Structure 1
Amino acid sequence: MSRVSGTESTAKRARLSPEERRKQLIGVGHEMLRERPLGDITVAAVTAQAGVSRALLFHYFPTLEDYHRAILHNANAELLDHVRPNPALAPLDMLRDSMERFIGYVEHNQTAYHAMLRGPASASPVVVEQAEDTRGKIAEMLFAVVPIDAADPDRPRLELAVRGWIAYLEQVVLTWLAEPTITREQLIDLFVRSLPALTLTPQIAAILATDLPEISPPATE
């Protein structure tokens, strides 16, 4: 019976198209990334988990670095899907909604997120490259909502400020998850208020000025 099962399993693997096989291997690595640092996703670990040979893995990814890059690209695409603004909402609600989903995503992928931003792998060229690419795409999402023309002479300054704001979110959410000294709602308020404060942009401030709640210190006994 075990021989038949093994034969059937091999046949099923053989029926995958090259694109399907590549996606499968990336998916295996992505799931592993949820539970361990990128540096612990080794060739031996992946091939054992996926039930494939080293030769097959390297057929689709010339080096382990290429494989890691593909995993990170997939993980970051998932993050972008989570934070994508909902156009049905008003700008302020849209930003709050995206911040809520951003916090939720990091909360459920804390091990990988922490490892990529604060662990030994954070200095890896592959990790830096993918992190910068993701920040750029999140910035593009924001500028699609905020009416600041690409030809505006102040646009380069704003792009730098927004990227800085995104890096700020990354670090603050990890600190908050490790030590939640304020409520989730207060964290969202902090994120929303910090955007116009960091960019010093009247347009952004005007869009987000609608009934922003005061940030109160946490209650003490």
Structure 2
Amino acid sequence: MTIGVRRRMGVEERRQQLIGVALDLFSRRSPDEVSIDEIASAAGISRPLVYHYFPGKLSLYEAALQRASDDLAARFVEPRQGPLGARLLRVMGRYFDFVDEHGPGFSALMRGGPAVGSSTTNALVDSVRQAAYVQILSHLGVTDPPARLELVVRSWISLAESTALIWLDGRRIPRAELEVQLVHDFAALMAVSAAYDEEMGALLRRVIEAEPADGHFGDLVGRLVGLAG
């Protein structure tokens, strides 16, 4: 009979394990509701040992948030191939995958949690938004965005956040419909801005010319024409 021997973890390996355990718990319930005792139990170690690696729940929360923010930012990365509408839809699919997997934690981060107001938390949230902003500009092929385009992209990122939060409260609208709607929202924001700015108009025309007739942007036009009729 062979008796299993528990392997001793190194310092960094143990830290990463605790971050993973904490992130899993924070993803299923609001961080305010998760105790250090629960984290220790889930990790199979004592409460004092958790404090050996992290001075408190706030520091562990921020470490878990760093991992989550890196994950969320990476979901905006998409090869610049194919029409923009299809690319944005794939991005939104991965974005809502994250929201679905980390609902309570995502909600706590955006609405208020144990680290609200801390410089670390604010910086992490801003880093995700900035990563998303840079990726969208990359999809548009723009390196020096005019003021109206910056307004459109940043407004759309905020809209995606608020849409995800509302969806989490009961999930009353099918997720797939919201993902398509957000792609349409991006096109609509660009169209409104283009009505006031020729540079935005030229960019919108370039985007539309690259879209197939049966693509997501064309679908929006069809729906609007149907309403007018």
TM-score range, shorter chain: 0.7 to 0.9
Q: In structure 2, what is the equivalent of residue 175 of structure 1?
A: 166
Q: In structure 2, what is the equivalent of residue 84 of structure 1?
A: 77
The answer to whether the aligner puts 1:94 opposite 2:87 as a matched pair is yes
> C-alpha distance in 2, partners of 1:207/1:123?
41
Range with greater deviation from structure 2 (167-176 or 177-186)? 177-186
Specify every segment of 5 or more residues in structure 2 that has no aligned partner in the other structure, as ranges.
194-199, 225-229
Q: In structure 2, what is the equivalent of residue 205 of structure 1?
A: 204
Range with greater deviation from structure 2 (118-127 or 32-41)? 118-127
1:203 Cα deviation from its structure 2 partner: 5.8
> C-alpha distance in 2, partners of 1:207/1:54?
58
> C-alpha distance in 1, partners of 2:50/2:121?
20
Look up the SS of the partner of 2:28 in the other structure.
coil
TM-score for both structures, normalised by structure 2: 0.73
1:216 Cα deviation from its structure 2 partner: 4.7
Would the aligned equivalents of 1:115 and 1:122 in 2 still touch at CA under 8 Å? no
1:68 Cα deviation from its structure 2 partner: 0.8
Count matched residues.
206
Range with greater deviation from structure 2 (180-189 or 204-213)? 180-189
Over 3 Å counting, the alpha-carbon distance change for 1:146 and 1:55 in structure 2 is same
Q: In structure 2, what is the equivalent of residue 134 of structure 1?
A: 128
Would the aligned equivalents of 2:29 and 2:104 in 1 still touch at CA under 8 Å? yes
Would the aligned equivalents of 1:82 and 1:102 in 2 still touch at CA under 8 Å? yes
Amino acid at match of 1:149: T
Specify every segment of 5 or more residues in structure 1 that has no aligned partner in the other structure, as ranges.
none
> C-alpha distance in 2, partners of 1:179/1:208?
35
1:112-191 to structure 2, matched below 5 A, reads 112-121=105-114, 123-125=116-118, 126-150=120-144, 154=146, 158-178=149-169, 183-191=174-182
> C-alpha distance in 2, partners of 1:144/1:47?
43
Look up the SS of the partner of 2:91 in the other structure.
helix
Range with greater deviation from structure 2 (173-182 or 83-92)? 173-182
Q: In structure 1, what is the equivalent of residue 59 of structure 2?
A: 66
Look up the SS of the partner of 1:80 in the other structure.
helix
> C-alpha distance in 2, partners of 1:191/1:203?
22
Would the aligned equivalents of 1:30 and 1:72 in 2 still touch at CA under 8 Å? yes
Over 3 Å counting, the alpha-carbon distance change for 1:103 and 1:66 in structure 2 is same
Q: In structure 1, what is the equivalent of residue 103 of structure 2?
A: 110
> C-alpha distance in 2, partners of 1:19/1:122?
23
1:94 Cα deviation from its structure 2 partner: 0.9
> C-alpha distance in 1, partners of 2:97/2:42?
27
1:92 Cα deviation from its structure 2 partner: 2.4
1:206 Cα deviation from its structure 2 partner: 3.5
* Identical aligned residues as a percent: 24
